[in-house]
């Protein structure tokens, strides 16, 4: 009987309230004395994260029954490069979609360059690449090409409308992502005028290793037969965890090397409708989570993640308030000719393995008590990969069936 009481007490401790988190954030905002994001870099990371959450919601809404996988940093960087060639009016439209209008950073481009450099540090295992493709027939302004290259170290690629262009483009993205992301651009046509392209790869490096891996187990699906997938498992795994009754899910933050965390949002029921969780996600909410989740040790069971996803983001970007700009891009610093975006290609690849630098503890304790907690991700879930020092959102995904998102 005492064991049940202790377990119930811990479950109460783990309980979070989405409403309370929101109220706390609002109270802090009213006083304007506490700012979750206090430096230009963390403020920019928050803006980019909110852009990513907004884009994810639009993409997920287009097909609620499909998995979605996104890395907003590369897309933000590509459109920031485009903004360097825009009129003042067009720049404001792009900045609003990217959430930059909330910033007061006169050195925004320098801040973004430094943020990208820190995120792409080799120890993190994160690689991203972004580039603007432009048709040579547009009579491009040399000043724009030079300024982008000077600021971000990559020159927009000019297209000669030949078959050789496609191989050159894809070879560059493959090289920039360590050979992990291939065929980012599926095709190029002679009508291509401007094509923003973004790619990203993450080799997830756990701090704590998993002793059991690749055992085929059932992944529950809403209204369908379970799917057999490889899973990895470890007892006494250190995580931070909480229960959000308002969102109907349990949240776990699993630490990775060099300041990266992976957050799992696991619904209470087997369902493919994760809209309630999707709508709650903001940079501020996730920052609050990182401060309020409770450190525990659990029997942790996760899918062996090997995901690949590619899409054209143009329709979803239009829904983010860019439809007016897309109709009249007004890129006067790039060319005098009218420019239309043909597509916005985005491809992401992510994989994790059971390896880690440390072994799990043999003494499971929470506040001095030994308790048997489990966290088993064996049904549809939503996940984030976040850089904790900056707060930047590296990846966000919705997995309804791990086998539906192309395997690496």
CA distance 18 to 24: 10
Domain 2-38+204-305+356-399 listed as CATH 2.40.30.30? no
Residue 13: predicted pLDDT: 58
Residue that the structure tokens 């971000």 belong to: 152
Q: Are 183 and 173 in contact (CB under 8 A)?
A: no
**306 phi, psi to nearest 5 deg:** -140, 95
72-100 confidence digits (pLDDT tens): 999 999 999 999 999 999 999 999 999 99
Residue that the structure tokens 């809209």 belong to: 275
364: closest CA among 408, 315, 299, 277? 299
Residue 353: predicted pLDDT: 86
202-260 confidence digits (pLDDT tens): 998 999 999 999 899 999 999 999 999 999 999 999 999 999 999 999 999 999 999 99
> Would you state the structure tokens that stand for residue 392, as one six-digit string?
């930047």
Residue that the structure tokens 């920019």 belong to: 44
Q: Are 202 and 394 in contact (CB under 8 A)?
A: yes
Is a pLDDT exceeding 80 seen at residue 18? no
Q: Where in the chain is the domain with CATH 2.30.39.10?
A: 2-38+204-305+356-399
H helix intervals, 126-280: 142-152, 163-176, 275-280
Name every residue whose Cβ is closer than 8 Å to that of residue 228 and which is 6 or more positions away in sequence. 216, 217, 218, 219
> Would you state the structure tokens that stand for residue 165, as one six-digit string?
């262009």
Residue 243: predicted pLDDT: 95
373-385 confidence digits (pLDDT tens): 999 999 999 999 9
321-361 confidence digits (pLDDT tens): 899 999 999 999 999 999 999 899 999 999 988 888 888 88
pLDDT band at 312 (very low <50, low <70, confident <90, very high): very high
Residue 30: predicted pLDDT: 39
Residue 33: predicted pLDDT: 32
Residue 367: predicted pLDDT: 57
> Would you state the structure tokens that stand for residue 334, as one six-digit string?
């790039």
pLDDT band at 318 (very low <50, low <70, confident <90, very high): confident
134 strand-pairing partners = 158, 194
Q: Where in the chain is the domain with CATH 3.30.497.10?
A: 72-203+307-350
The C-alpha angle with vertex 55 and arms to 52 and 60, in degrees rounded to 5, equals: 120
Is a pLDDT exceeding 70 seen at residue 364? no
Residue that the structure tokens 């690449």 belong to: 129
Residue 7: predicted pLDDT: 40
In three-state form (DSSP H/G/I as H, E/B as E, the rest C), the secondary structure along 124-164 is HCEEEEEEEEEEHHHCCCHHHHHHHHHHHCCCCEEECCCHH
Residue 154: predicted pLDDT: 96
H helix intervals, 253-339: 275-280, 283-292, 314-317, 323-327
Q: What is the residue-averaged pLDDT of the chain?
A: 89
**Portion of the chain with pLDDT greater than 90, in percent:** 75
Is a pLDDT exceeding 50 seen at residue 24? no
> Would you state the structure tokens that stand for residue 337, as one six-digit string?
């000719």
296, 358, 365, 391 from 209: Cα distances, Å: 16, 6, 18, 24
246-300 confidence digits (pLDDT tens): 999 999 999 999 999 999 999 999 999 999 999 999 999 999 999 999 999 999 9
Residue that the structure tokens 């910033």 belong to: 103
- Mean pLDDT for 299-305 is 94
Residue 366: predicted pLDDT: 55
Is a pLDDT exceeding 90 seen at residue 161? no
CA distance 7 to 335: 66
> Would you state the structure tokens that stand for residue 123, as one six-digit string?
């120890």
Report, at the CATH architecture level, how domain 72-203+307-350 is classified: 2-Layer Sandwich (3.30)
137, 285, 320, 323 from 341: Cα distances, Å: 15, 33, 15, 11
């Amino acid at each position: 009987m005492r064991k049940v009481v202790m377990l119930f007490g811990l479950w109460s401790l783990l309980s979070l309230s989405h409403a309370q988190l929101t109220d706390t954030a609002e109270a802090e905002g009213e006083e304007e004395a506490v700012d979750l994001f206090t430096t230009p870099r963390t403020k920019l990371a928050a803006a980019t994260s909110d852009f990513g959450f907004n884009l994810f919601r639009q993409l997920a809404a287009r097909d609620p029954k499909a998995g979605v996988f996104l890395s907003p940093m590369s897309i933000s960087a590509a459109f920031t490069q485009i903004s360097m060639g825009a009129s003042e009016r067009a720049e404001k439209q792009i900045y609003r979609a990217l959430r930059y209008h909330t910033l007061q950073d006169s050195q925004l481009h320098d801040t973004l360059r430094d943020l990208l450099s820190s995120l792409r540090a080799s120890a993190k295992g994160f690689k991203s690449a972004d580039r603007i493709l432009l048709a040579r027939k547009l009579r491009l302004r040399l000043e724009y090409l030079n300024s982008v290259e000077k600021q971000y170290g990559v020159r927009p690629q000019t297209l000669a409308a030949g078959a050789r262009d496609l191989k050159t483009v894809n070879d560059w993205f493959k090289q920039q992502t360590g050979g992990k992301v291939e065929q980012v651009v599926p095709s190029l046509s002679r009508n291509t005028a401007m094509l923003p392209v973004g790619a990203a790869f993450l080799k997830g490096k756990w701090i704590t290793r998993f002793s059991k891996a690749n055992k085929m187990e059932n992944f529950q699906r809403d209204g369908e037969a379970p799917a057999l997938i490889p899973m990895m498992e470890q007892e006494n795994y250190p995580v931070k965890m909480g229960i959000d009754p308002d969102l109907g899910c349990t949240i776990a933050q699993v630490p990775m090397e060099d300041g990266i965390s992976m957050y799992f949002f696991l619904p209470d029921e087997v369902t493919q409708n994760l809209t309630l969780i999707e709508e709650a996600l903001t940079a501020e909410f996730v920052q609050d989570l990182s401060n309020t989740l409770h450190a525990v040790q659990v029997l942790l069971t996760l899918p062996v993640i090997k995901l690949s996803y590619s899409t054209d983001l143009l329709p979803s970007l239009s829904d983010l308030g860019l439809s007016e700009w897309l109709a009249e891009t007004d890129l006067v610093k790039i060319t005098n000719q009218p420019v239309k975006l043909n597509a916005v290609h985005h491809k992401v690849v992510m994989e994790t393995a059971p390896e880690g630098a440390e072994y799990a503890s043999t003494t499971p304790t929470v506040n001095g008590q030994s308790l048997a907690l489990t966290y088993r991700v064996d049904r549809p879930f939503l996940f984030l990969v976040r850089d904790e020092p900056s707060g930047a959102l590296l990846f966000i995904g919705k997995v309804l069936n791990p086998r539906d998102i192309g395997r690496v």
